[in-house]
Amino acid sequence: MTASPARLTVNAVPVDLTPVPVDERLLDTVRWRLGLKGTKDGCRTGDCGACTVLIDGRSVLSCLTLTHEFAGASVTTVEGLEGDPTAARVRAAFEMEGALQCGYCTPGFVVALTSLLKELGAEASAEELTEDLGGNLCRCTGYTAIVRAVRRVHEEMP
Amino acid sequence: MATFSFVQPSTTDEALAALRLGEPGETMIVAGGTDVLFGLEGRRIPLKRVVSLRHLPWKTLSWAGESLRIGSTLPLRTLERDPDLRRRIPGLWQAVRAVGSVALRHRATLGGNLVRSSPASDLIPILLALDSEVDIIGMEGERSLPVDQFVRASRTTALGSGELIRSVAIPEARASAFLWQRVRPANDISQVGVAVAYSPSRKGWRIAVGGVVPRPVLLPQAERLLSGPFPGAAELRAAAQEASMRVPFATDRRATEEYRRQLVATLLQRAVRAAGSHPSSPGVP
Amino acid sequence: MTFTVRPDADAKLRGQVAFATDLSVPGMLWGALVPAPVARGRIRSIDLGPARAIDGAVAIGPADLARWLPSAIGDAERPVFPTDRIQYHSQPLAAVAAPTRELARRAARAVRVDVEPLPPIEEIEGFDPAHPGPDHPEVIAHVLARHGDLDAAFGSADFVLSETYRTAGVCQVALEPHACIAEIRGEVWHVTTSTQTPFGTREDLASMLGLPEERIVVEGTWVGGGFGGKGAPLVEPYALLLARASDRPVCLALSYREEFQLGRTSLPSIVRIESAVKGGRITGRRAHWRLDAGASLPGRDFTTGYAIGFILGPYRIPAIEMEGYAFRTNKPPLGPHRAPMAPQCVFAEESHMDHLAARLGVDPVAFRRSHVWKEGDRTHLGQKVGPFGLDRCLERAGALAATWRKDAAPNTGVAMGVGFWSTVTGAGGEARLVLSPTELKIIEGEREIGSGSVIRGIVAVAETVLGISRDRVRVDYHDTRSAPFDSGVFGSRTLAALGQAVQKAALVLRDELGKRLSVPADSVRLTEENGELVAVSGRHRALIRSLLTETELAAGGLTSEGRHYGTSGEIDTARIVEGTFYPYTDFTGAAHVAMVKVDPETGAVRVMRYAAFQDAGKIVDLPTAQGSIEGGVAMGLGTALTEETTWAEDGHLSNAGLLDYRIPTLGEIPPIEVHFEEGFSGAGPYGAKGLGEPPIIPVPATVGNAIFAASGAAMTEIPMTPERVARALKLL
């Protein structure tokens, strides 16, 4: 049996889960315990995508995740994507297409799209990528610039 | 504040043992965990324990000839990305894609969806139409139940206390389709979902409908009105009429009963046509 | 115009921008609100004892407020805490703070509230609005205006078309929930908050709390979307009072459920519109509007008296009558939602236009163009129309619609709708610029809310005047103590009104530089050299450093100020029978085209293509302008198709969450073409017109008209959900 308390790795830094209450959400652990505020606190019901983080490389909603569920796993937040070349391409495309306004949903989009590009790889079409981003809500841009940014990333994929 | 403990069994025996800890109702079992936060609020019995099934070796997917067995804790996204699923059981692929978002499907599981047993589930109708069986394991041993006998109502199933779903078995690949209607196409709850599948072994259609109280249902009377893999327009209309009259729909804030009847009649005809013309259909070379 | 990356883009993409929800200060407590358990009722008692018994918790209710700030309970319309009657479900009755968010929630739940429930008043139809009965909602605003011989118009008409339209309540749904941190610093009540209007918030807080404005300081943070929802205090008074009670900083952030329940959103309305037609022309038009105002109206009857101006359309009609009623119901107070109530009024009016054209058998574009206002015409209230590009937008949109119609597949329809807006340039503001040897600072109170109107719009104005490179201009945010006054980011006014203040301040700087260089001011440009700013005029070059005095250098640079306090147009008051109507200050037109596909068996609508032709005066920053139009159209598609607040019989909002309140997702938004029509100058810098609100206005009507074109189903209710379309198609 995997015993709790345990450890979690966040952005390659080990985190001791001993002081973490078992009903704490991963969203609150990264934001308030670790001070990683790039992960945004939106709906807290899994409906907006602003809190998207990677767990073992896959996008998940940190608001619907109990921190202890992923003891032993590796969590990457938007801050942990600083040196990631895929994320860098995503950021560049969003900049060039003006695919952000207020910026509240933006880190969630960066994390989700980076994850998708890695998960689907070269086989993905731009249409699949945009369809699979449907869980991330944006109220400012009307998505049109985001779709342009996805196409740009897709075209520039190595 | 820590009001409960977190248990993460890695073997079946450990898991079954963990279920027996404490009093009934004190333990919450978590598969993908996407519903767990909602379960934490408004409980009558204070929660003492969470048993996470994440470390069990049940994240499996195996084809054996025509049949498919899906581990209960396999993330839906992994199922959706199986290289054969879309081609061999298109209806199941469509239903899995209908669930939540990618980030949700990275965690949500078939087992969790079955135990949640939502009347609006997008997965239960297709599992019904595929004559799927739920493999259950408990301290008294193993048993297997058709999905039709497993789901009963919202959050109510045939699963006994101390039992877990280990896997779901789909007996054969079928030409199939799942069509749904929502107010908003993405990130919404389906008003109606219609799953159809043509069984080459039984030489007949299976039709199931979701968005129904108290649970998704099979429609044998409508199935019998369809004679072969390519039913004609008149047969389809008759089956659609039968289905729309038969289903126990209700009016709620997502749709009225009469709109659901209209939807099921339309979607049923479209689903059968879509399944029949899919490359996986027996009639398509 | 070259494309530029927004200066805030990189930090936002890296998650480095701190919003109000991200802030914390040492020793901070978390706040929580105690919600009313019913929508209407009398408060018997509120027992804060059980909450106060929780370790480290404080709790405050109406009694504390009365004790500390006796003059604070003046506004019966929008009390901080109600003392007697509950106005709407979940209305804050008390507030608590505790060391953790969880404890605060527990303390809020521990408060014992005893109320005598009463049946909520929700319905705004089914009675004579001039004489509502005891079980009907009270009239809180009534406006009526008339002009021309209406009886003659209707009496001699070839036909009269009379229609009733219904519109649902819609929410702003900025992704960032309301949040703030309050702190009492000696005599000063300080709040750091996500607001569109730091100065307006200060003024409102002063009146809500009964404190002089000097004792309140509002510090704006980055705003994670506003859309009108962050224009007035919501969480701030409670956080300040909790800070006062606990002597600690208090953070109060709404849950997303509360965001819906407490938000100052738009509410349902009913529009009855009828037109008299003779010889192919509209000779008379009457509109009657009923608005659900919830517990109260913002700014008295502003919404009614303003939005009703859109209800008759931008058309020449010789005889008109418009009448509006706002009713008090047991819903949260009405608030401004991007172009408050205009998309709703225009949905009725522009759908009605297409139905009239269909009845006449004429082309809807030609029908509109034969009636549309042009510069020099008089509005329904007798105001003279200024430069107005709507006819030109109509012409271009009509041509595009004709092209699209050639591609239209079965069950597909192409149609258009128009709308217009009046930028709120009358709301004034001041700008302060500081030119240092290395950069130009724009001192501002309000932070960027996302649209780019601050970080790009007003910056672009300074760039244009001074010829300075954009990376040498920085917006420097100050709190209300040291920032120059400005009305805020709302009403599409930021570029159009504050931009004028910035333009004036930049011109003052340029004049001063011209003087110091002894050259004509308009020949001065700023360039840079080795990191230093240089003033250039022909062959004259001088380092800014060399042009500043010692005193100026010590003060950080050369300061200049600009003020803009606009004037409104004049209306013919003889046409007003009752109430207050508001004149327009800028005439900003838009014509939209949609291609939609209607499923003839389910009523599901898919928008295939969309185009917006926007009368823009002058585009100051193209990517910002385009982003505003794209975002506005998408928001309008939500209003048109999926968004709707639903109220249960007991008066609670039954879809207070992002699953059941359905804003558009990525997959529903079609490609949106944006076309600007420049040349019909507005009052803004270089002739710019405000573009925040105009793009949302025509959308519901345009989509409804396209559904009509595709299927023959005349839509009279928004949102046009699949089931409503199915009913209009007579499938049910």
Q: Is residue C102 located within the same domain as residue C249? A: yes
Question: pTM of the entire structure?
Answer: 0.97
In a domain, B224, yes or no: yes
* Residue A2 confidence class, pLDDT cut points 50, 70, 90: very low
Residues in chain B closer than 8 A to A135 (CB atoms): 100-104, 186-187
CATH number at residue C488: 3.30.365.10
Whether C297 is covered by a domain: the verdict is yes
Phi, psi (rounded to 5 degrees) for C32: -150, 155
Q: Is the dihedral of CA C371, C373, C379, C382 positive or negative?
A: negative
A11 touching chain B per CB within 8 A? no
A90 and A76 in one domain? no
Residue A94 falls within a domain, yes or no?
yes
Whether chain B has a CB inside 8 Å of the CB on C732: the answer is yes
Contact C620, C495 (CB under 8 A): yes
- C167, part of any domain: no
Q: Flag if C631 and A100 touch (Cβ within 8 Å).
A: no
Q: What is the mean pLDDT of residues C362-382?
A: 97
- Which has the higher per-residue pLDDT, A40 or C299? A40
Weakest mean pLDDT among B75-84, C579-588, C701-710? C579-588
Same domain, A121 and A107: yes
Of B32-46, B239-253, C144-158, C452-466, the range with the lowest mean pLDDT is B32-46
- In order of B187, B265, C561, C600, the CA distances from C726 in angstroms are 22, 14, 59, 8
What are C523-542's pLDDT values in tens digits? 999 999 999 999 999 999 99
For residues C342 and C400, membership in a common domain is answered with yes
Residues of A in contact with B13 (CB under 8 A): none
Q: Give the whole-angstrom CA distance, residue C399 versus residue C595.
A: 14
Residue in chain A nearest B186 by alpha carbon? A134
Task: Test A45 with C657 for CB contact under 8 angstroms.
Answer: yes
Task: For residues A118 and A133, state if they share a domain.
Answer: yes
Same domain, A64 and A125: no
Side-chain half-sphere CA neighbours of B252 within 13 A? 17
Cα–Cα distance measured from residue B230 to residue B232, given in angstroms and rounded to the nearest whole number: 6
Q: Which residues pair with C60 in a beta bridge?
A: C95
Same domain, C551 and C586: no
- Chain B: give the shortest CA distance to residue A69, in Å: 7
**Which of A53, A80, A107 is the endpoint of a domain?**
A80
A130 and A74 housed in the same domain = no
pLDDT at C28: 97
Nearest CA-CA distance, residue A143 and chain C, Å: 6
Split at pLDDT 50, 70, 90, the class of C4 is: confident
DSSP state of B93: H
- Answer whether C542 touches B (CB < 8 Å): no
Q: Which of C498, C610, C647 is nearest to C562 (CA)?
A: C498
C613 and C589 share one domain:
yes
Contacts of B183 in chain C (CB under 8 A): 642, 662, 721-723
User: Do C53 and C191 reside in the same domain of the chain?
Assistant: yes
- Identify from B190, B237, B259 which residue to disrupt to test chain C contact, counting C C-beta atoms within 10 A and taking the largest count: B259
Structural domain of B265: 175-277
Please report the pLDDT score of residue B280 as a whole number: 56
Contact across the interface for A101 and C452, Cβ inside 8 Å: yes
Domain end call among A39, A63, A80: A80
Q: What is the mean pLDDT of residues A31-42?
A: 97
**Contact status of A55 with chain C (Cβ, < 8 Å):** no
| Distance between A150 CA and the closest CA of chain C, angstroms | 12
C-alpha to C-alpha distances, C311 to A156, C350, C421, nearest whole angstrom: 48, 9, 12
Range of the domain at C467: 429-564
* Residues B76 and B130 placed together within one structural domain of the fold: yes
Residue at A18 is within a domain = yes
- Residues of C in Cβ contact (< 8 Å) with A144: 630, 634, 669, 671-672
Residue pairs between chains A and B whose CB atoms are closer than 8 Å: 100
Domain stops at, among C536, C564, C592: C564
What residues in C contact A102, CB-CB < 8 Å?
Answer: 174-176, 222-225, 448-450
User: In this structure, are residues A62 and A25 in contact, taking their beta carbons and an 8 Å threshold?
Assistant: yes
> Which pairs count as long-range contacts for C538-542, CB under 8 Å and 24+ apart, including other chains?
C542/C516, C542/C517
**Whether residue C282 sits in one domain with residue C409:** yes
Query: Quick one: average pLDDT of B156-171?
Result: 96
Are residues B260 and B210 part of one domain?
A: yes
The verdict on residue B108 lying in a domain is yes
Contact B186 C642 (CB under 8 A): no
Query: Any chain B CB within 8 A of the CB of C649?
Result: no
- pLDDT grade, residue B284 (50/70/90)? very low
User: Rounded to an integer, what is the distance from CA C499 to the centroid of its chain?
Assistant: 18
The verdict on residue C161 lying in a domain is no
Number of domains in chain A: 2
Q: Do A47 and B187 touch (CB under 8 A)?
A: yes
Residue B283 in domain: no
C263 belongs to a structural domain: no
Residue carrying the six token digits 């115009």: C1
Query: Considering only alpha carbons, which residue of chain B is nearest residue C664?
Result: B184
Which string of DSSP letters, residue by residue, matches C390-427?
HHHHHHHHHHHHHHHHHH--TTEEEEEEEEEE---TTS
The enclosing domain of B14 has a CATH number of: 3.30.43
CATH number of the domain that residue A11 is part of: 3.10.20.30
Does residue A95 share a domain with residue A149?
A: yes
* Domain of residue B82, CATH code: 3.30.465.10
**C399 and C463 housed in the same domain:** no
Sort out which chain C residues have CB atoms less than 8 A from B46's CB and list them: none
Mean pLDDT over C215-236 rounds to: 96
Backbone angles phi, psi at C84, to 5 degrees: -135, -60
Subunit partners of chain A (3 or more CB pairs within 8 A): B, C
Which residues, in sequence order, are CB contacts of C539 under 8 Å at separation 6+? none
Is there a domain that residue A1 lies in?
no
Residue B85 resides in a domain: yes
Strand bridging mode C269-278 / C281-292: antiparallel
- How does residue B283 score in pLDDT terms, banded at 50, 70 and 90? very low
User: Mean pLDDT, to the nearest integer, of C603-625?
Assistant: 97
Q: Do B99 and B151 belong to one domain?
A: yes
**pLDDT, tens digit, for every residue of C6-56?**
999 999 999 999 999 999 999 999 999 999 999 999 999 999 999 999 999
Residues C373, C480, single domain; the answer is: no
C 303-362 residues with CB < 8 A to B: none
Domain count, chain C: 3
Residues B25 and B82 in one domain: no
What subunits make at least 3 CB pairs under 8 angstroms with B?
A, C
Tell me the nearest-neighbour CA distance from A158 into chain B, angstroms. 22
Q: What is the pLDDT of residue B285?
A: 35
**Of C505, C538, C564, the domain-final residue:** C564
Give yes or no: residues A103 and A117 share one domain.
yes
Please report the ipTM that was assigned to this predicted complex.
0.97
Mean pLDDT of chain C: 95
Q: Is residue B31 part of a domain?
A: yes
Q: Are residues B37 and B67 in the same domain?
A: no
Q: Are residues A60 and A72 part of one domain?
A: yes
User: Is B166 in the same domain as B182?
Assistant: no
**What pLDDT does residue B277 have?**
76
pLDDT digits (tens, 9 = 90+) for B241-282: 999 999 999 999 999 999 999 999 999 999 999 998 765 554
B192 and B158 within one domain: no
Q: A96 and A56 in one domain?
A: no
Q: How far is C567 from chain B (nearest CA, A)?
A: 44
| CB-based contact C723 B259, cutoff 8 Å | yes
Give the minimum alpha-carbon distance from B267 to chain A in angstroms, rounded to a whole number: 22
**Residue C635, in any domain of the structure:** yes
A80, A115, A134 — which closes off a domain? Answer: A80
Q: Which of B184, B252, B266 to mutate to test binding with chain C, by most C CBs within 10 Å of its CB?
A: B184
Distance from CA of C722 to the nearest CA of B (A): 6
**What is the average pLDDT across B196-213?**
96
pLDDT at A3 over 60: no
Are the Cβ atoms of A139 and C174 closer than 8 angstroms?
A: yes
Residue C333, in any domain of the structure: yes
Contacts of A71 in chain B (CB under 8 A): 8
**Domain termination site, one of C564, C585, C614:** C564
C660 found inside a domain:
yes
What C566-572 contacts at long range (C-beta under 8 Å, 24+ apart), as own/partner pairs, is C566/C425, C566/C426, C566/C427, C566/C428, C566/C497, C566/C500, C566/C683, C567/C426, C568/C426, C569/C383, C569/C384, C569/C386, C570/C383, C570/C384, C571/C379, C571/C381, C571/C382, C571/C383, C572/C147, C572/C378, C572/C381, C572/C382, C572/C383
Q: Indicate which of A139, A147, A152, A153 best probes the interface with C, i.e. most C CBs within 10 Å of its own CB.
A: A139
Asked if residue C420 and residue C433 are part of one domain, the reply reads no
B33, A65: Cβ pair inside 8 Å? yes
Segment C549-558, tens digit of pLDDT: 999 999 999 9
Task: Please report, for the domain that includes residue C85, its CATH number.
Answer: 3.90.1170.50
Range of the domain at A133: 83-155
pLDDT tens digits, one per residue of C189-211:
999 999 999 999 999 999 889 89
Q: Between residues 416 and 455 of chain C, which touch chain A (CB distance below 8 Å)?
A: 448-452
Q: Do A49 and B101 touch (CB under 8 A)?
A: yes
Residues B40 and B93 placed together within one structural domain of the fold: no
Domain presence at residue C127: no
CATH code of the domain covering residue A130: 1.10.150.120
Q: Are residues C627 and C558 in the same domain?
A: no
Q: Rounded to a whole number, what is the distance in Å from the CA of A53 to chain C's nearest CA?
A: 12
Q: Which amino acid is at B154?
A: S
Q: Are residues C56 and C205 in the same domain?
A: yes
Query: What's the Cα-to-Cα distance from C216 to each of A24, B214, C207, C212, rounded to whole Å?
Result: 36, 56, 11, 7
Q: Residues C363, C439: one domain?
A: no
| Interface membership of A61 toward B (CB under 8 Å) | yes
Q: Is residue B102 included in any domain, yes or no?
A: yes
